[in-house]
Amino acid sequence: MQAIFLTTTGTLTPVIIDGVIYNHPVTNLEITKPNGYLDFFEVSNSEQLQDAINNGYITLTDELSNPITNTSTIPQIPTATETVAGAIAIASQPETDAGTVTNKAIVPATLLAAATVVHRVANETIDGIKTFLQNIFIDNSTPSDALEIGYFDNLAPEDPNTYGVRRTGASGYFAFMPNAQFPQLVLGSPTGTNQAFIDVTNNGALFLNQLDTGAGTPGGVTVGQGGLTVGSTNATVPNLTLTSVSGGTDWKIFVGSPGNFDDWLRFQWDGSTDNNQAVLLPTGEWRTLSGVAGSPGHGFINFSNYGMFVEETLLYLGLSTGGTPRFRAWPSGLLDVGTTANYEALVINDRDIPNKKYTDDAIAAAIPDRQFNQSVTQFTNNFAAGVTAYVIIPNTDFTTANTIADDYEITANFSCRVTNNNNRTLEFTLFVGGVADVDFTRVIRFDQANDDKSITIRYNLNLAASSTGDLRVRNINASANLQVNMRNVTAEAF
Protein backbone atom coordinates (compact mmCIF):
# COMPACT_ATOMS: atom_id res chain seq x y z
CA MET A 1 0.00 0.00 0.00
CA GLN A 2 1.45 3.36 -1.02
CA ALA A 3 -1.25 6.02 -0.36
CA ILE A 4 -4.64 6.48 1.43
CA PHE A 5 -7.50 8.68 0.15
CA LEU A 6 -10.48 10.16 2.09
CA THR A 7 -13.98 10.96 0.77
CA THR A 8 -16.87 12.50 2.83
CA THR A 9 -20.36 10.99 2.48
CA GLY A 10 -22.40 14.07 3.44
CA THR A 11 -24.07 12.32 6.39
CA LEU A 12 -22.34 14.80 8.72
CA THR A 13 -20.64 18.06 7.84
CA PRO A 14 -18.21 19.20 8.86
CA VAL A 15 -16.41 16.07 9.98
CA ILE A 16 -13.64 16.73 12.56
CA ILE A 17 -10.97 14.06 12.88
CA ASP A 18 -7.89 14.49 15.07
CA GLY A 19 -8.34 18.27 14.95
CA VAL A 20 -8.68 18.43 11.15
CA ILE A 21 -11.98 19.84 9.72
CA TYR A 22 -13.44 18.25 6.56
CA ASN A 23 -16.30 20.24 4.97
CA HIS A 24 -18.46 18.15 2.60
CA PRO A 25 -17.88 17.47 -0.22
CA VAL A 26 -14.36 16.08 -0.03
CA THR A 27 -13.43 13.54 -2.77
CA ASN A 28 -10.34 11.32 -2.89
CA LEU A 29 -8.22 13.60 -0.68
CA GLU A 30 -4.79 12.03 -0.15
CA ILE A 31 -4.18 12.16 3.63
CA THR A 32 -0.87 10.25 3.74
CA LYS A 33 2.57 11.73 3.22
CA PRO A 34 4.30 13.03 1.17
CA ASN A 35 1.18 14.73 -0.31
CA GLY A 36 -0.89 14.50 2.88
CA TYR A 37 -0.28 15.32 6.52
CA LEU A 38 -0.37 11.87 8.15
CA ASP A 39 2.01 8.97 8.01
CA PHE A 40 0.83 5.36 7.80
CA PHE A 41 1.45 4.82 11.54
CA GLU A 42 -0.84 7.73 12.46
CA VAL A 43 -3.60 6.54 10.14
CA SER A 44 -3.38 2.97 11.45
CA ASN A 45 -3.71 4.11 15.09
CA SER A 46 -6.36 6.87 14.76
CA GLU A 47 -9.50 6.00 16.78
CA GLN A 48 -11.41 9.06 15.49
CA LEU A 49 -10.72 8.03 11.89
CA GLN A 50 -12.11 4.53 12.57
CA ASP A 51 -15.20 6.02 14.33
CA ALA A 52 -15.92 8.24 11.29
CA ILE A 53 -15.77 5.18 9.05
CA ASN A 54 -18.04 3.18 11.40
CA ASN A 55 -20.62 6.04 11.55
CA GLY A 56 -20.65 6.39 7.73
CA TYR A 57 -19.25 9.95 7.71
CA ILE A 58 -16.30 9.08 5.45
CA THR A 59 -14.83 6.32 3.27
CA LEU A 60 -11.16 5.39 2.80
CA THR A 61 -9.50 3.75 -0.24
CA ASP A 62 -5.95 2.87 -1.25
CA GLU A 63 -4.17 3.95 -4.45
CA LEU A 64 -5.92 1.12 -6.34
CA SER A 65 -9.40 2.28 -5.17
CA ASN A 66 -9.71 -0.73 -2.84
CA PRO A 67 -11.99 0.21 0.15
CA ILE A 68 -10.48 0.33 3.69
CA THR A 69 -12.99 -0.38 6.49
CA ASN A 70 -10.56 -1.26 9.29
CA THR A 71 -7.65 1.12 9.87
CA SER A 72 -5.80 -1.44 12.00
CA THR A 73 -5.13 -3.47 8.83
CA ILE A 74 -3.22 -0.56 7.29
CA PRO A 75 0.54 -1.29 7.27
CA GLN A 76 2.46 1.19 9.42
CA ILE A 77 5.15 1.49 6.72
CA PRO A 78 4.19 2.06 3.04
CA THR A 79 5.55 0.07 0.08
CA ALA A 80 8.62 1.76 -1.33
CA THR A 81 8.54 3.34 -4.81
CA GLU A 82 10.81 5.64 -6.73
CA THR A 83 9.08 8.58 -4.99
CA VAL A 84 7.86 7.07 -1.69
CA ALA A 85 10.16 5.77 1.04
CA GLY A 86 8.97 2.50 2.52
CA ALA A 87 9.43 -1.26 2.78
CA ILE A 88 10.89 -3.16 -0.19
CA ALA A 89 11.59 -6.86 -0.86
CA ILE A 90 15.00 -8.31 -1.78
CA ALA A 91 15.41 -9.80 -5.27
CA SER A 92 16.42 -13.47 -5.54
CA GLN A 93 19.48 -14.58 -7.50
CA PRO A 94 17.43 -15.73 -10.57
CA GLU A 95 15.51 -12.44 -10.50
CA THR A 96 18.81 -10.56 -10.30
CA ASP A 97 20.31 -12.57 -13.17
CA ALA A 98 17.23 -11.96 -15.35
CA GLY A 99 17.28 -8.24 -14.62
CA THR A 100 13.52 -7.77 -15.29
CA VAL A 101 12.01 -7.24 -11.80
CA THR A 102 11.26 -3.56 -11.04
CA ASN A 103 9.91 -3.63 -7.44
CA LYS A 104 12.70 -5.46 -5.53
CA ALA A 105 16.12 -4.43 -4.27
CA ILE A 106 19.45 -6.09 -5.17
CA VAL A 107 21.99 -6.79 -2.47
CA PRO A 108 25.76 -6.85 -3.15
CA ALA A 109 26.03 -10.65 -3.09
CA THR A 110 23.42 -11.26 -5.78
CA LEU A 111 24.79 -8.36 -7.81
CA LEU A 112 28.28 -9.86 -7.79
CA ALA A 113 27.00 -13.31 -8.74
CA ALA A 114 24.96 -11.89 -11.62
CA ALA A 115 27.96 -9.98 -12.96
CA THR A 116 30.07 -13.14 -13.19
CA VAL A 117 27.54 -15.06 -15.44
CA VAL A 118 26.90 -12.36 -18.04
CA HIS A 119 27.79 -13.57 -21.54
CA ARG A 120 29.61 -10.95 -23.54
CA VAL A 121 27.97 -11.02 -26.98
CA ALA A 122 28.93 -8.72 -29.80
CA ASN A 123 26.88 -5.59 -30.24
CA GLU A 124 25.20 -5.70 -26.79
CA THR A 125 25.18 -3.12 -24.00
CA ILE A 126 26.23 -4.55 -20.60
CA ASP A 127 26.54 -2.35 -17.51
CA GLY A 128 26.47 0.65 -19.83
CA ILE A 129 29.32 -0.67 -21.95
CA LYS A 130 28.74 -1.45 -25.65
CA THR A 131 30.40 -4.66 -26.88
CA PHE A 132 31.56 -4.84 -30.52
CA LEU A 133 32.54 -7.44 -33.08
CA GLN A 134 34.02 -6.05 -36.22
CA ASN A 135 31.86 -6.85 -39.26
CA ILE A 136 33.52 -7.52 -42.59
CA PHE A 137 32.74 -5.39 -45.66
CA ILE A 138 33.51 -6.81 -49.09
CA ASP A 139 33.64 -4.06 -51.69
CA ASN A 140 36.18 -2.60 -54.07
CA SER A 141 35.24 1.00 -53.36
CA THR A 142 33.09 2.10 -50.40
CA PRO A 143 31.10 0.30 -47.67
CA SER A 144 27.98 2.38 -48.47
CA ASP A 145 26.77 -0.42 -50.76
CA ALA A 146 29.03 -3.26 -49.76
CA LEU A 147 28.50 -6.91 -48.95
CA GLU A 148 28.56 -7.04 -45.15
CA ILE A 149 29.26 -10.22 -43.18
CA GLY A 150 28.82 -10.25 -39.43
CA TYR A 151 26.33 -9.78 -36.57
CA PHE A 152 23.19 -7.65 -36.96
CA ASP A 153 20.68 -6.51 -34.33
CA ASN A 154 18.17 -5.22 -36.89
CA LEU A 155 18.46 -7.67 -39.75
CA ALA A 156 14.95 -9.13 -39.85
CA PRO A 157 11.79 -8.57 -37.77
CA GLU A 158 11.33 -12.27 -37.12
CA ASP A 159 14.79 -12.67 -35.53
CA PRO A 160 16.64 -9.35 -35.15
CA ASN A 161 19.76 -10.67 -33.38
CA THR A 162 21.26 -12.75 -36.16
CA TYR A 163 24.52 -13.50 -37.89
CA GLY A 164 24.34 -13.29 -41.62
CA VAL A 165 25.24 -11.59 -44.90
CA ARG A 166 23.58 -8.51 -46.38
CA ARG A 167 24.07 -5.69 -48.83
CA THR A 168 24.36 -2.53 -46.85
CA GLY A 169 22.62 -0.31 -49.36
CA ALA A 170 19.84 -2.59 -50.67
CA SER A 171 19.37 -4.27 -47.26
CA GLY A 172 18.68 -7.68 -48.78
CA TYR A 173 20.11 -10.41 -46.58
CA PHE A 174 21.03 -14.05 -46.24
CA ALA A 175 21.01 -15.40 -42.69
CA PHE A 176 20.60 -18.40 -40.44
CA MET A 177 18.02 -17.56 -37.77
CA PRO A 178 18.31 -19.86 -34.75
CA ASN A 179 15.98 -17.79 -32.56
CA ALA A 180 12.98 -17.68 -34.90
CA GLN A 181 9.92 -19.86 -34.21
CA PHE A 182 11.59 -22.58 -36.29
CA PRO A 183 15.34 -22.46 -37.07
CA GLN A 184 15.55 -21.55 -40.70
CA LEU A 185 17.86 -20.43 -43.44
CA VAL A 186 16.45 -17.32 -45.09
CA LEU A 187 17.21 -15.29 -48.18
CA GLY A 188 15.26 -12.16 -47.34
CA SER A 189 14.07 -8.84 -48.66
CA PRO A 190 14.87 -5.36 -47.32
CA THR A 191 14.58 -5.08 -43.56
CA GLY A 192 11.06 -4.81 -42.17
CA THR A 193 9.12 -5.61 -45.35
CA ASN A 194 8.50 -9.32 -44.64
CA GLN A 195 8.15 -10.04 -48.37
CA ALA A 196 10.07 -11.88 -51.09
CA PHE A 197 11.52 -14.68 -48.97
CA ILE A 198 13.15 -17.95 -49.83
CA ASP A 199 12.93 -19.83 -46.53
CA VAL A 200 14.35 -23.32 -45.91
CA THR A 201 13.31 -24.67 -42.51
CA ASN A 202 14.67 -27.44 -40.34
CA ASN A 203 11.77 -29.77 -41.31
CA GLY A 204 12.78 -29.76 -44.98
CA ALA A 205 10.04 -27.43 -46.20
CA LEU A 206 10.62 -24.71 -48.77
CA PHE A 207 8.69 -21.45 -48.45
CA LEU A 208 8.53 -18.86 -51.22
CA ASN A 209 7.42 -15.31 -50.36
CA GLN A 210 6.54 -16.12 -46.76
CA LEU A 211 8.29 -17.31 -43.61
CA ASP A 212 7.66 -20.63 -41.88
CA THR A 213 5.14 -20.35 -39.05
CA GLY A 214 5.28 -23.99 -38.11
CA ALA A 215 2.43 -25.03 -40.45
CA GLY A 216 4.65 -26.16 -43.32
CA THR A 217 4.36 -29.75 -44.53
CA PRO A 218 7.76 -31.48 -44.33
CA GLY A 219 9.26 -31.62 -47.78
CA GLY A 220 6.51 -29.41 -49.21
CA VAL A 221 6.61 -26.13 -51.08
CA THR A 222 4.50 -23.20 -49.89
CA VAL A 223 4.00 -20.11 -52.02
CA GLY A 224 2.85 -17.04 -50.16
CA GLN A 225 2.28 -13.45 -51.20
CA GLY A 226 3.12 -12.92 -54.86
CA GLY A 227 2.11 -16.41 -56.05
CA LEU A 228 3.99 -18.85 -58.25
CA THR A 229 4.35 -18.43 -62.02
CA VAL A 230 5.65 -21.26 -64.18
CA GLY A 231 5.93 -20.13 -67.79
CA SER A 232 6.45 -21.87 -71.12
CA THR A 233 6.77 -20.43 -74.61
CA ASN A 234 6.54 -23.80 -76.36
CA ALA A 235 3.14 -25.51 -76.68
CA THR A 236 4.77 -28.94 -76.54
CA VAL A 237 6.66 -28.15 -73.33
CA PRO A 238 4.42 -28.38 -70.24
CA ASN A 239 4.17 -25.53 -67.75
CA LEU A 240 4.20 -28.09 -64.94
CA THR A 241 5.01 -31.81 -64.75
CA LEU A 242 3.80 -33.94 -61.84
CA THR A 243 5.67 -37.19 -61.27
CA SER A 244 3.81 -40.13 -59.76
CA VAL A 245 4.87 -41.56 -56.40
CA SER A 246 5.53 -44.97 -57.94
CA GLY A 247 7.89 -43.49 -60.51
CA GLY A 248 5.57 -44.30 -63.40
CA THR A 249 4.35 -41.97 -66.12
CA ASP A 250 3.86 -38.30 -65.39
CA TRP A 251 0.96 -35.90 -65.68
CA LYS A 252 1.66 -32.71 -67.60
CA ILE A 253 -0.16 -29.41 -67.40
CA PHE A 254 -0.15 -26.94 -70.29
CA VAL A 255 -1.56 -23.45 -70.65
CA GLY A 256 -2.55 -22.88 -74.28
CA SER A 257 -1.59 -24.79 -77.39
CA PRO A 258 -1.38 -24.13 -81.14
CA GLY A 259 -4.56 -23.36 -83.07
CA ASN A 260 -7.74 -22.42 -81.29
CA PHE A 261 -6.70 -23.50 -77.80
CA ASP A 262 -4.51 -20.57 -76.74
CA ASP A 263 -6.39 -19.93 -73.50
CA TRP A 264 -7.14 -23.53 -72.54
CA LEU A 265 -5.71 -25.18 -69.43
CA ARG A 266 -4.83 -28.69 -70.65
CA PHE A 267 -4.06 -31.89 -68.73
CA GLN A 268 -2.21 -34.71 -70.45
CA TRP A 269 -1.06 -38.12 -69.30
CA ASP A 270 2.52 -38.71 -70.33
CA GLY A 271 1.72 -41.89 -72.26
CA SER A 272 -1.17 -40.39 -74.24
CA THR A 273 -1.00 -39.23 -77.85
CA ASP A 274 -3.94 -36.87 -77.26
CA ASN A 275 -2.74 -33.56 -75.85
CA ASN A 276 -6.24 -32.54 -74.72
CA GLN A 277 -7.31 -35.36 -72.41
CA ALA A 278 -9.01 -32.84 -70.14
CA VAL A 279 -9.27 -29.07 -70.58
CA LEU A 280 -10.57 -26.12 -68.57
CA LEU A 281 -11.78 -23.15 -70.63
CA PRO A 282 -11.67 -19.48 -69.54
CA THR A 283 -15.50 -19.57 -69.50
CA GLY A 284 -15.42 -22.16 -66.71
CA GLU A 285 -16.33 -25.10 -68.96
CA TRP A 286 -14.70 -28.44 -68.13
CA ARG A 287 -14.25 -30.81 -71.09
CA THR A 288 -12.92 -34.35 -71.49
CA LEU A 289 -12.51 -36.83 -74.33
CA SER A 290 -15.69 -38.36 -75.83
CA GLY A 291 -14.94 -41.85 -74.60
CA VAL A 292 -16.89 -45.00 -75.47
CA ALA A 293 -19.52 -47.09 -73.70
CA GLY A 294 -16.86 -49.27 -72.06
CA SER A 295 -14.75 -46.29 -70.99
CA PRO A 296 -16.94 -43.17 -70.86
CA GLY A 297 -15.46 -39.67 -71.04
CA HIS A 298 -17.26 -38.82 -67.79
CA GLY A 299 -17.03 -41.80 -65.45
CA PHE A 300 -16.43 -42.88 -61.88
CA ILE A 301 -13.32 -44.05 -60.05
CA ASN A 302 -14.70 -47.37 -58.81
CA PHE A 303 -16.95 -48.00 -61.86
CA SER A 304 -14.83 -47.36 -64.92
CA ASN A 305 -17.43 -48.65 -67.42
CA TYR A 306 -20.29 -46.56 -66.00
CA GLY A 307 -20.83 -43.00 -67.17
CA MET A 308 -21.58 -40.63 -70.04
CA PHE A 309 -19.95 -40.62 -73.47
CA VAL A 310 -20.38 -39.29 -77.03
CA GLU A 311 -20.45 -41.78 -79.93
CA GLU A 312 -18.40 -39.84 -82.48
CA THR A 313 -19.64 -41.73 -85.59
CA LEU A 314 -23.39 -41.84 -84.92
CA LEU A 315 -23.20 -38.64 -82.85
CA TYR A 316 -25.44 -39.62 -79.98
CA LEU A 317 -24.97 -38.86 -76.28
CA GLY A 318 -25.06 -42.08 -74.31
CA LEU A 319 -25.30 -43.34 -70.75
CA SER A 320 -23.69 -46.71 -70.15
CA THR A 321 -23.73 -49.24 -67.32
CA GLY A 322 -21.35 -52.17 -67.32
CA GLY A 323 -19.98 -51.00 -70.67
CA THR A 324 -23.34 -51.25 -72.50
CA PRO A 325 -25.27 -48.21 -73.82
CA ARG A 326 -28.51 -48.05 -71.85
CA PHE A 327 -29.85 -44.66 -72.86
CA ARG A 328 -29.15 -42.58 -75.97
CA ALA A 329 -30.01 -39.01 -76.93
CA TRP A 330 -29.81 -38.47 -80.71
CA PRO A 331 -29.15 -35.19 -82.58
CA SER A 332 -32.78 -35.28 -83.83
CA GLY A 333 -34.02 -35.13 -80.24
CA LEU A 334 -35.07 -38.80 -80.18
CA LEU A 335 -34.45 -40.68 -76.94
CA ASP A 336 -34.15 -44.46 -76.92
CA VAL A 337 -33.13 -47.28 -74.60
CA GLY A 338 -29.91 -48.15 -76.37
CA THR A 339 -29.12 -51.70 -77.38
CA THR A 340 -31.03 -53.44 -74.56
CA ALA A 341 -32.76 -56.52 -76.03
CA ASN A 342 -36.44 -57.17 -75.19
CA TYR A 343 -36.59 -53.98 -73.16
CA GLU A 344 -40.39 -54.14 -73.05
CA ALA A 345 -40.15 -57.27 -70.89
CA LEU A 346 -38.32 -55.24 -68.22
CA VAL A 347 -41.20 -52.76 -67.82
CA ILE A 348 -43.04 -54.19 -64.82
CA ASN A 349 -43.31 -51.33 -62.27
CA ASP A 350 -45.37 -48.15 -62.35
CA ARG A 351 -42.21 -46.02 -62.39
CA ASP A 352 -40.68 -47.86 -65.38
CA ILE A 353 -40.55 -46.01 -68.72
CA PRO A 354 -42.19 -48.00 -71.58
CA ASN A 355 -40.90 -48.14 -75.15
CA LYS A 356 -42.99 -48.19 -78.36
CA LYS A 357 -43.18 -51.99 -78.57
CA TYR A 358 -44.37 -52.21 -74.99
CA THR A 359 -47.12 -49.69 -75.76
CA ASP A 360 -48.14 -51.41 -79.00
CA ASP A 361 -48.33 -54.81 -77.29
CA ALA A 362 -50.39 -53.41 -74.43
CA ILE A 363 -52.88 -51.78 -76.80
CA ALA A 364 -53.18 -54.93 -78.89
CA ALA A 365 -53.81 -57.02 -75.77
CA ALA A 366 -56.40 -54.63 -74.36
CA ILE A 367 -58.56 -54.24 -77.52
CA PRO A 368 -60.23 -57.45 -78.81
CA ASP A 369 -60.61 -58.31 -82.51
CA ARG A 370 -63.73 -56.98 -84.20
CA GLN A 371 -66.54 -59.50 -84.66
CA PHE A 372 -69.52 -59.59 -87.06
CA ASN A 373 -67.51 -57.32 -89.29
CA GLN A 374 -68.90 -58.54 -92.60
CA SER A 375 -71.68 -56.99 -94.65
CA VAL A 376 -74.28 -59.36 -96.15
CA THR A 377 -76.11 -58.29 -99.29
CA GLN A 378 -78.92 -60.01 -101.28
CA PHE A 379 -79.36 -62.85 -98.82
CA THR A 380 -82.66 -64.49 -99.80
CA ASN A 381 -84.52 -67.08 -97.78
CA ASN A 382 -87.95 -68.73 -98.11
CA PHE A 383 -89.60 -69.30 -94.73
CA ALA A 384 -92.42 -71.78 -94.22
CA ALA A 385 -95.71 -70.75 -92.70
CA GLY A 386 -95.93 -70.37 -88.97
CA VAL A 387 -93.13 -69.98 -86.47
CA THR A 388 -90.06 -71.34 -88.13
CA ALA A 389 -86.59 -72.23 -86.93
CA TYR A 390 -83.89 -69.62 -86.89
CA VAL A 391 -81.71 -69.27 -89.97
CA ILE A 392 -78.10 -68.17 -89.52
CA ILE A 393 -77.32 -65.01 -91.44
CA PRO A 394 -74.16 -65.85 -93.40
CA ASN A 395 -70.79 -64.36 -92.40
CA THR A 396 -71.98 -63.05 -89.03
CA ASP A 397 -70.57 -65.79 -86.86
CA PHE A 398 -67.54 -65.47 -84.55
CA THR A 399 -65.34 -68.30 -83.36
CA THR A 400 -63.29 -69.21 -80.30
CA ALA A 401 -60.09 -67.96 -81.92
CA ASN A 402 -61.31 -64.39 -81.98
CA THR A 403 -62.77 -63.75 -78.52
CA ILE A 404 -61.32 -62.98 -75.11
CA ALA A 405 -63.13 -62.49 -71.82
CA ASP A 406 -64.33 -58.90 -71.96
CA ASP A 407 -67.31 -56.56 -72.25
CA TYR A 408 -68.50 -56.00 -75.84
CA GLU A 409 -70.77 -53.48 -77.51
CA ILE A 410 -72.55 -54.97 -80.57
CA THR A 411 -74.07 -52.70 -83.16
CA ALA A 412 -76.25 -54.57 -85.74
CA ASN A 413 -78.17 -53.05 -88.67
CA PHE A 414 -80.80 -55.16 -90.53
CA SER A 415 -82.29 -53.93 -93.85
CA CYS A 416 -84.74 -56.31 -95.64
CA ARG A 417 -87.88 -56.74 -97.85
CA VAL A 418 -90.79 -59.22 -97.79
CA THR A 419 -91.69 -59.88 -101.42
CA ASN A 420 -94.74 -62.14 -101.50
CA ASN A 421 -97.25 -61.36 -98.78
CA ASN A 422 -98.72 -58.75 -96.49
CA ASN A 423 -98.74 -58.50 -92.73
CA ARG A 424 -95.76 -60.62 -92.00
CA THR A 425 -93.29 -60.40 -89.04
CA LEU A 426 -89.58 -61.25 -88.83
CA GLU A 427 -87.58 -61.81 -85.64
CA PHE A 428 -83.84 -61.09 -85.39
CA THR A 429 -81.73 -62.32 -82.49
CA LEU A 430 -78.17 -63.06 -81.29
CA PHE A 431 -77.05 -66.59 -80.45
CA VAL A 432 -74.12 -66.99 -78.03
CA GLY A 433 -72.83 -70.50 -77.50
CA GLY A 434 -75.87 -71.87 -79.36
CA VAL A 435 -78.38 -70.11 -77.09
CA ALA A 436 -80.59 -67.17 -78.14
CA ASP A 437 -80.09 -63.95 -76.19
CA VAL A 438 -83.68 -62.85 -75.56
CA ASP A 439 -82.61 -59.34 -74.53
CA PHE A 440 -81.10 -58.80 -77.94
CA THR A 441 -84.16 -60.08 -79.86
CA ARG A 442 -86.06 -57.57 -82.06
CA VAL A 443 -89.05 -57.91 -84.52
CA ILE A 444 -90.01 -56.10 -87.73
CA ARG A 445 -93.57 -56.18 -89.13
CA PHE A 446 -94.21 -55.71 -92.85
CA ASP A 447 -97.61 -54.24 -93.75
CA GLN A 448 -97.53 -55.06 -97.48
CA ALA A 449 -95.52 -56.88 -100.06
CA ASN A 450 -92.32 -55.34 -101.28
CA ASP A 451 -92.17 -53.19 -98.20
CA ASP A 452 -88.60 -52.16 -97.16
CA LYS A 453 -87.83 -52.09 -93.44
CA SER A 454 -84.65 -51.63 -91.38
CA ILE A 455 -83.68 -51.76 -87.72
CA THR A 456 -80.47 -50.90 -85.84
CA ILE A 457 -79.65 -52.61 -82.56
CA ARG A 458 -76.90 -51.52 -80.08
CA TYR A 459 -76.34 -54.03 -77.37
CA ASN A 460 -73.82 -54.57 -74.55
CA LEU A 461 -72.90 -58.02 -73.32
CA ASN A 462 -70.08 -59.83 -71.57
CA LEU A 463 -68.46 -62.71 -73.44
CA ALA A 464 -66.43 -65.42 -71.81
CA ALA A 465 -63.15 -66.40 -73.38
CA SER A 466 -63.41 -68.62 -76.48
CA SER A 467 -67.11 -67.86 -76.95
CA THR A 468 -68.95 -68.59 -80.24
CA GLY A 469 -71.95 -66.78 -81.70
CA ASP A 470 -73.88 -65.52 -84.71
CA LEU A 471 -76.88 -63.47 -85.86
CA ARG A 472 -80.10 -65.28 -86.91
CA VAL A 473 -83.56 -64.50 -88.37
CA ARG A 474 -86.91 -66.39 -88.46
CA ASN A 475 -90.57 -66.02 -89.46
CA ILE A 476 -92.94 -65.78 -86.49
CA ASN A 477 -96.17 -65.35 -88.52
CA ALA A 478 -98.62 -68.25 -88.88
CA SER A 479 -99.55 -67.43 -92.48
CA ALA A 480 -98.28 -68.90 -95.70
CA ASN A 481 -94.71 -69.16 -96.90
CA LEU A 482 -92.56 -66.02 -96.66
CA GLN A 483 -89.71 -64.96 -98.96
CA VAL A 484 -87.26 -62.47 -97.41
CA ASN A 485 -84.48 -60.66 -99.20
CA MET A 486 -81.77 -59.40 -96.77
CA ARG A 487 -80.26 -56.52 -98.68
CA ASN A 488 -77.86 -55.37 -95.99
CA VAL A 489 -76.83 -56.81 -92.67
CA THR A 490 -73.88 -55.31 -90.75
CA ALA A 491 -72.70 -56.01 -87.21
CA GLU A 492 -69.56 -54.95 -85.25
CA ALA A 493 -68.32 -55.62 -81.77
CA PHE A 494 -65.77 -53.20 -80.22
What does the pLDDT read at residue 118? 44
What's the rounded Cα separation, in Å, for the pair 485 and 250?
97
C-beta of residue 485 within 8 angstroms of C-beta of residue 414: no
What does the pLDDT read at residue 185? 65
What does the pLDDT read at residue 157? 56
The count of other CB atoms within 10 Å of the CB of residue 164 is 21
What does the pLDDT read at residue 163? 67
What does the pLDDT read at residue 25? 93
What's the rounded Cα separation, in Å, for the pair 468 and 450?
34
Give all strands (DSSP E) within 209-334, no chain letters.
Answer: 221-223, 240-242, 251-255, 265-269, 278-280, 286-288, 291-292, 295-296, 298-299, 307-311, 316-321, 324-329
Q: Is 83 exposed, middle or buried (CB count within 10 Å of its CB: 0-12, 13-18, 19+)?
A: exposed
What does the pLDDT read at residue 244? 65
Contacts of 38 (CB under 8 A, 6+ apart): 31, 32, 46
482 backbone dihedrals φ, ψ, rounded to 5°:
-130, 130
Q: Which residues pair with 406 in a beta bridge?
A: 463
What does the pLDDT read at residue 14? 93
What does the pLDDT read at residue 29? 93
Question: In the predicted model, what is the mean pLDDT of the chain?
Answer: 75
Nearest Cα residue to 81 out of 193, 165, 3? 3
Residue ranges of alpha helices (H) inside 154-220 are none
> Alpha carbon of 176 to those of 194, 197, 342, 443: distances in Å?
16, 13, 77, 125
For residue 34, say if its preceding peptide bond is cis, omega within 30 degrees of 0: yes
Could you give the dihedral angle defined by the CA atoms of residues 150, 154, 155 and 160, in that order, rounded to the nearest 10 degrees? 100
Residue by residue, DSSP assigns 327-378 as EEE-TTS-EE-TT-TTGGGG--STTSPP-HHHHHHHHHHHSPPPBS--EE-S
What does the pLDDT read at residue 421? 65
Nearest Cα residue to 330 out of 344, 305, 349, 311? 311
Low-confidence residues in the chain, pLDDT < 70: 114-148, 151-163, 166-237, 239, 243-249, 256-263, 270-276, 363-378, 399-404, 420-423, 478-482, 487-494
The architecture that CATH gives domain 375-493 is: Sandwich (2.60)
What does the pLDDT read at residue 436? 92
The ranges assigned to domains in the chain are: 4-73, 136-223, 240-280, 291-357, 375-493
Nearest Cα residue to 480 out of 417, 418, 413, 393? 418
What does the pLDDT read at residue 27? 94
Q: Is 384 exposed, middle or buried (CB count within 10 Å of its CB: 0-12, 13-18, 19+)?
A: exposed
What's the rounded Cα separation, in Å, for the pair 194 and 207?
13
C-beta of residue 114 within 8 angstroms of C-beta of residue 99: yes
485 backbone dihedrals φ, ψ, rounded to 5°:
-105, 115
What is the DSSP code (8-state) at residue 42? H
What does the pLDDT read at residue 130? 55
